[in-house]
């Protein structure tokens, strides 16, 4: 149904992930920017759980082997069909033999390519998402390669209409500086009071170590409170006896370069987690690039839940609009 002519820098099959396996050390994987993934699916009439292609920094070149509709959402990465520009956040019709390609990334970091029916690969533990570190899910458990053949699935819930587009008000704005809201974590007390204030006041820069496992930031050095080494913990003050790492949790090994753990990260370990980026802002992290700036903003749980409801409402509004279009 779809032939991979060029794979791009890193293009993987992703859906909404495989939650429920933290107890055996398996992270959920899934689309890093779930909003763009979901809206791309809705544009082509798919269930939001259908698999899309997540393309990082450099898009793939794909040859469609059948007539179908598709949509590209997420990063501001120009898309072309047979060399002609096509709009993003829009349902587009392709004919058999048409070729989809991409230009240079302008804003954001990841594009999501949805085709009607979804990308069909064998589910693993209830998900089609690629977890490349373990070689499971997706297409042969890895990023796409030139020559791969992908099939179209049947997770379509309604017939899409060619040309329908998501209005600007529901399209994310990928500003150069990201504001990331954080709920203080279980071990935030391990930071000195001064470092706690500095963490939220400082401007941080995304390092080249920014991928599906996590994003590392550089900036100031943070100080942890000295303490006797607990049994079972490392000697560094940033170490604790092993704890669970929720998606979005922030660890600062030795007080140097905070790491926000993402969908393919380990599920637990021995570093103090000083906070967690709220779920509503994880999409924003996914659309930041190396050398972009970020600021962490402290909020409480009630505000985090309000922002999550707001994000869910936005998705429902988009879905309602597309059903009526």
Could you give the 3-state DSSP secondary structure of residue 322? helix
Summarize pLDDT for 58-103 with one digit per residue, the tens. 999 999 999 999 999 999 999 999 999 999 999 999 999 999 999 9
Backbone angles phi, psi at 12, to 5 degrees: -130, 160
Q: Which pTM does this prediction carry? A: 0.96
In this prediction, residue 245 carries a pLDDT of: 95
Percent of the chain at pLDDT > 70 equals 100
How many other CB atoms sit within 10 Å of the CB of residue 255?
17
- b/e string for 43-69 if b means 16 or more Cβ within 10 A? bbbbbbbbbbbbbbbbbbbbbbbeebb
Which ranges in the chain are annotated with CATH 2.40.100.10?
Answer: 177-307
In this prediction, residue 123 carries a pLDDT of: 97
**Counting Cβ atoms within 10 Å, is residue 193 exposed (0-12), middle (13-18) or buried (19+)?**
exposed
Average pLDDT (141-166) is 92
Choice among 17-26, 54-63, 128-137, 230-239 with the minimum mean pLDDT: 230-239
**Is 177-307 a CATH 2.40.100.10 domain?**
yes
Q: Strand pairing partners for 4? A: 62
How many other CB atoms sit within 10 Å of the CB of residue 163?
12
């Amino acid at each position: 149904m779809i032939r991979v002519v060029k794979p791009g820098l890193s293009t993987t099959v992703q859906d909404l992930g495989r939650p429920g396996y933290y107890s055996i050390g398996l992270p959920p994987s899934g689309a890093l920017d779930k909003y763009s993934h979901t809206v791309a699916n809705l544009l082509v009439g798919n269930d939001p759980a259908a698999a899309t292609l997540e393309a990082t920094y450099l898009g793939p070149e794909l040859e469609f082997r059948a007539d179908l509709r598709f949509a590209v959402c997420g990063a501001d990465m120009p898309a072309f069909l047979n060399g002609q520009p096509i709009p993003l956040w829009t349902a587009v019709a392709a004919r058999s033999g048409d070729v989809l390609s991409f230009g240079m990334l302008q804003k954001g970091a990841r594009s999501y390519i949805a085709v009607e029916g979804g990308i069909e690969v064998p589910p693993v533990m209830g998900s089609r998402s690629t977890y490349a570190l373990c070689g499971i899910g997706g297409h042969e458990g890895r990023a796409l390669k030139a020559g791969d053949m992908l099939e179209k699935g049947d997770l379509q819930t309604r017939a899409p209409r060619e040309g329908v587009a998501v209005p600007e008000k529901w399209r994310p704005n990928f500003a150069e500086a990201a504001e990331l809201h954080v709920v203080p974590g279980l071990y935030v007390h391990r930071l000195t009071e001064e470092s706690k204030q500095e963490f939220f006041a400082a401007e941080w820069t995304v390092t080249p170590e920014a991928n599906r496992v996590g994003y590392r930031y550089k900036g100031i050095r943070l100080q942890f409170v000295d303490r006797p080494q607990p049994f079972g913990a490392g000697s560094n003050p940033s170490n604790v006896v092993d704890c669970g790492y929720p998606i979005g949790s922030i660890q600062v090994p030795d007080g140097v370069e905070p790491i926000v753990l993402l969908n393919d990260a380990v599920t637990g370990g021995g570093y103090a987690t000083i906070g967690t980026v709220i779920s509503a802002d994880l999409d924003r992290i996914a659309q930041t690039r190396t050398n972009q700036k970020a600021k962490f903003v402290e909020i409480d749980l009630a505000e985090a839940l309000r922002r999550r409801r707001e994000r869910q409402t936005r998705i429902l509004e988009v879905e309602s609009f597309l059903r009526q279009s």
